Structures are given as structure tokens and as C-alpha cells.
Amino acid sequence: QIQIENCGWRIGSVDCTNYAEIIVEDNASLRSRIEFRSVSDPTTVHTYYLGTRSNADPSLLPELTTVNTEFEINLNLEPSFGPLVDSTSYDVGYIVYDDRGNVMNKLVNWMENAKYDITRPEVVIGYGAQYSSIANVGGQYITDTTKVGDFKIWAKFGSELVDDDTPRTPKIAIDRGGTGDLTSTNMRPVTGNKSKWYYIYSVDSLTGDNPDMNSFVDGIATVSITAAVDYAGNTIKPATNNTFLIDTTPPTINNSSIETDNSAITVTFTDAFSSDVYNTSAGSGALEVDDFVLKIANGTAKFAGGLTRASPTAIDLSAAWTYKLTLPLLDTIPDGQEVITISPKVEEGPPVVYHIFDRIG
């Protein structure tokens, strides 16, 4: 936008409201115009003459006016102007004449080193407690899984190495399983850096399995970022890395079978979103004998020493999810009424200590 103010002395002070002015572009000697001069190549000049195309776009205010006003120009309406080059810096100036030939010349030292930018900024999503933790060495932002609790979601404008600040507050929306989607909500900036924004999303434990009836259902969640622009006014591209997994359900034992000689029990776990089960909450570590509890009831036999509760004496991973647990010796010959129960070990607290986890913990 450009504002032309016509001022004069009136009753001892400057008056910019009572002086009408006729701005002229006569296609001859009085050529009111705006010039864009390339900083890298000053011989390249793009010139826009005021008024010659103002009637071509009825949405714009007239450029040649007899009153003080702001007006907008559309550079695309002047065929001789020529296209500006994206990411190129220009020195911008203007010269304006009135109908008496008076001139305001600001062709130099008006707007210097202005970058022409028509590239839509990129935005990539990351997940993690700290921004420094969301990117791998290779520059790929981590896609993550979350369980119950607070989950920090980052929006980075520009690449990992190049910041592209946004002067407007981005909004985040999350489309997840169930009816409890997050509607468009303001994000928060990192202090002193408007290219990094975050939102803390709380994952509820009250999940169901009917996406049409339950508010929250485990599964893939999709993040959308809107409302942000760069300083040139370019809208953002669709966000990348914009999905994460919500998994609030622990693994369970869904099948077990005992050897015919009662020497071992094979158990199989199931979990909708994990690739296996582990013995640490970090999603690592092979299961060990101490991670299981065996209980024997009914019948006449007990574990060696008269125990009704013990750990397996050995464990073997048959395949993902399937483990063969060697049973302790019995103290007598079983009568066939014995029932052996297998369960993950849980140590009473506080704090409560668990022993078997899925990948998210």
C-alpha cells in the first residue's frame, strides 16, 4: 500500500487534510511511477506507472486521485512491468507529480533490499518433550507413538536448518479415532523464535473401541496446521510428518498351551500397535523368567518346596509374541486337577513396578 499526503501550512501548522491534489501520469514528461531495481543487478529495473492500469481491477482503489488516500497496486496489471524473480531482493522507489509539475522523488533511499517472496513456506511436524529431540541425525523428523498423558507436538516452519518465521499464530487440529477430535486451537511459540511452535496434547485413558460412539479410540491421529503465513503473506504448504499413533492399551496374553508332559507352557501376547513385548518401558529388552508369575491351584501338586507361586525356570522366544516358559518341578505327581495361571509380574508399590511392556511403554 502507498499513501500520498498533500500538506501545507495553515494557521501556523502543517495541515494534511484540507489540501486536495491532482496526481498526474501523463505518459509524457510527468510520469508518476514506482520502480523496483534488482540489488544484485542494478541495471534490471521494473517500472510500474500509476493510473495506467487502475481501472482493470475494480477491487482496487484508484491510483490517481484528488484526495489523500491509500491505494493498492497490482503489478500483474502492467504488461510492461515484467515478472519479479522469486527470492530476489530489490530496492524500491517512487516518483510522483502533481498537475503543476511539482515532484516528490523517492526513487532512491526509500525501501531498500526488499525481498520478493512468493514461495509458500513448508511446515514439518515433530513429536517429543524437547525440540532438540524430534529430529534424527539424517534430518528426518521422528514420527512417534503416545500413551496416556501429555504429548508435545511441534510445528517447525522451514527446514530443519533454515527458519521461516510466521508472524501469525498457527492453529492445530487433530483428527483421531472417536468423536473427541481437537478442533482448531492456537499453538504456542518458542521464546524468541517464531519458526518453532508447539502444543501440549493430553491423551485420555478412557478409550473405547467404537469410533462412532466413544470419544477416544486408539489408532492413527492426523495433525493439521492452519492460519500461519510468512512475512510476505504466503500461506503454508500442507504439513508433512503429520500423523502419530495413540496407544493406551497394554499388551495381553491371548493364548496359552501346555506341553503333554507338563514341562512347559507356551504363551502368546497380542497388541494392536506394537511389534513385540519388552521388559522395559523404553520399548527394549528381552523378556526374562523374572518377568512372569506362575500360580498353581486346585489338585494335589505344588511347585517344588510346596510353593503355589513361582517364576519359570527358563524362557525361550519361539517367534515374535510367542514365548515358551519352562515350568518349575512339582513336589508330587499331579492328579490332573491342577490349574496353572500365567501373568505378567507386577510388584506392589509405591511405586508399582511393572515388568512387561509394549513399544510405547
Q: H/E element holding 318?
A: strand 314-319
If you average pLDDT over residues 152-165, what whole number do you get?
85
* CA 116 distance to own-chain centroid: 27
Q: What is the CA radius of gyration of the chain?
A: 36
In the structure, what pLDDT confidence band is assigned to residue 135 with cuts at 50, 70 and 90? Answer: low
Q: Select the more confidently predicted residue: 56 or 118.
A: 118
Asked if residue 361 is part of any domain, the answer here is no
Asked if residue 132 and residue 235 are part of one domain, the reply reads yes
If you average pLDDT over residues 117-132, what whole number do you get?
85
* CA 40 distance to own-chain centroid: 36
What pLDDT, on a 0 to 100 scale, did the predictor assign at position 170? 96
Check pLDDT > 70 for residue 234. yes
Asked if residue 88 and residue 127 are part of one domain, the reply reads no
State which of 96, 116, 136 marks the end of a domain.
Answer: 116
What pLDDT, on a 0 to 100 scale, did the predictor assign at position 9? 65
Residue 139 to residues 119, 134, 135, 142, 207, Cα–Cα distance (Å): 21, 10, 6, 9, 34
3-state secondary structure of 289: helix
Q: Please tell me what DSSP assigns to residue 330.
A: B
Check pLDDT > 90 for residue 203. no
Cell 501548522 -> residue: 13
What is the C-alpha separation between 260 and 257, in angstroms, rounded? 9
What is the C-alpha separation between 293 and 340, in angstroms, rounded? 10
Q: What is the pLDDT of residues 30-75, one digit of tens each?
A: 888 899 999 999 999 999 888 755 555 666 666 666 555 566 677 7
If you average pLDDT over residues 241-262, what whole number do you get?
89
State which of 86, 116, 146 marks the end of a domain.
Answer: 116
Asked whether the beta carbons of 182 and 174 are under 8 A apart, the reply is: yes
Q: Select the more confidently predicted residue: 257 or 24.
A: 257
Let me know the angle formed at the C-alpha of 307 by 301 and 288, rounded to the nearest 5 degrees: 110
Asked if residue 267 and residue 236 are part of one domain, the reply reads no
Asked if residue 359 is part of any domain, the answer here is no
Cell 489338585 -> residue: 299
What pLDDT, on a 0 to 100 scale, did the predictor assign at position 137? 42
Enter the C-alpha cell of residue 348: 506392589
In the structure, what pLDDT confidence band is assigned to residue 180 with cuts at 50, 70 and 90? Answer: confident
State which of 116, 138, 170 marks the end of a domain.
Answer: 116
Enter the C-alpha cell of residue 294: 506362575
What pLDDT, on a 0 to 100 scale, did the predictor assign at position 8? 62
For a pLDDT cut of 90, what percent of the chain falls above it?
40
Asked if residue 133 and residue 225 are part of one domain, the reply reads yes
Asked if residue 66 is part of any domain, the answer here is yes
What is the C-alpha separation between 126 and 153, in angstroms, rounded? 6
User: Pairing state of beta strands 243-246 and 145-146?
Assistant: parallel
What pLDDT, on a 0 to 100 scale, did the predictor assign at position 86? 92
Q: Please tell me what DSSP assigns to residue 244.
A: E
Positive or negative, the Cα torsion across 352, 353, 356, 361?
A: positive
What pLDDT, on a 0 to 100 scale, did the predictor assign at position 138? 44
Total domains in the chain come to: 3
CATH number of 163's domain: 2.60.40
Q: What is the pLDDT of residues 311-352, one digit of tens each?
A: 999 999 988 889 999 999 989 888 889 899 999 999 988 899
Enter the C-alpha cell of residue 329: 518341578
Asked if residue 135 and residue 73 are part of one domain, the reply reads no
Q: What is the mean pLDDT of the chain?
A: 85
Q: Select the more confidently predicted residue: 224 or 63.
A: 224
Q: What is the pLDDT of residues 139-155, one digit of tens each?
A: 445 567 788 888 889 99
Of 35, 32, 76, 71, nearest to 53 by C-alpha is: 76
Domain that holds residue 8: 2-116
Asked if residue 146 is part of any domain, the answer here is yes
Enter the C-alpha cell of residue 350: 509405591
